[in-house]
Structure 1
């Protein structure tokens, strides 16, 4: 069911870091990417910043699953796309991540991933969806007023997400023979025959 949740969560946490209470961050105080508001919603209604700083792994997983993963139907998205949408949701909100995914696959952008969105997503090549989504995500981030403060980190994050999501989708291209240079004629059969003949000549 949630085959990729733990893997996706571990990847997200690599970018979220530890404690942060940056004055330029509209999310306010966060611990490993969990805001105080989310902590109070899913863990402890009266939680303080001190409580947030001591969040356990179990509590962390609960917040990420319920607030982000479930919100974007991560368990129902194809491999790779699930991680790309999940990370986008963590960074910029589930509704925005859903709308951008819907824009990529050409369905109504209502911010809620349902049967129509899932059907459209599954009809597309996963790597293409991942790349288009990451392109739109970068364009959105570059328009933010906080780009000068966080732009470099966001760029590294989206680049890493793109590479890993494509890998998860199983779309990493296989290496070509001859050091990546295919025969100019495009005749692969001839190339295979020549390779076999060269083996016999060595005997």
Structure 2
């Protein structure tokens, strides 16, 4: 059932990079896409930045699977849609990613992907869902006050996610 998690995680990590502690980033200190706040919340309550920098692959996999992949029910989504929703969740939060996916398929936007959302996803074109989701994601990012600082990278990321997700959907 979880056929695509490892592939999706490797694609996400290619976008996330390594260590970052940019004062302009509201997420703060981040290692491979995991913020210090989330590392403390999900792995080690009293973690320091040094602990975060030393995050193990197992800890990384646990955070991504439990709090992003599972939150968007990645294992139940079609190929390509799973990756697009997962990357969106990592970058902008799983609740937002779920609501935008629900909007893309005309489901009730409650932020929880359940049977009704999955039925709507499965009834729609994977390619159309990916395009609508990426379009809405980019529009959201463009409205953020940090767009002038991070917009170029976000634009490139969403473009790469769209291309990769569409390729996965067509396999």
TM, length-normalised to structure 1: 0.83
Which residue of the partner structure matches residue 22 of structure 2? 22
Which residue of the partner structure matches residue 78 of structure 2? 78
CA displacement at 1:110 relative to structure 2 = 0.7
Distance 1:81 1:58 in 2: 25
Helix, strand or coil at the partner of 2:71: coil
Distance 1:66 1:162 in 2: 23
Q: Which runs of 5+ in 2 are unaligned?
A: none
Distance 2:24 2:72 in 1: 27
CA displacement at 1:117 relative to structure 2 = 0.4
Which residue of the partner structure matches residue 113 of structure 2? 113
4+ aligned runs moved over 3 Å, structure 1: none
Report which of the two structures shows the higher radius of gyration computed on alpha carbons: 1
- How many corresponding residue pairs? 171
Which residue of the partner structure matches residue 48 of structure 1? 48
Q: Deviations over 1:140-176 (max 9, x none)?
A: 01111010000110011000000000110116xxxxx
Instruction: Name the one with the larger helix percent.
Output: 2
CA displacement at 1:85 relative to structure 2 = 0.2
Q: Deviations over 1:18-40 (max 9, x none)?
A: 11111111111100000112111
Higher RCO structure (Cα 8 Å, ≥6 apart): 2
CA displacement at 1:41 relative to structure 2 = 2.0
TM, length-normalised to structure 2: 0.98
CA displacement at 1:70 relative to structure 2 = 0.5
Distance 2:164 2:64 in 1: 19
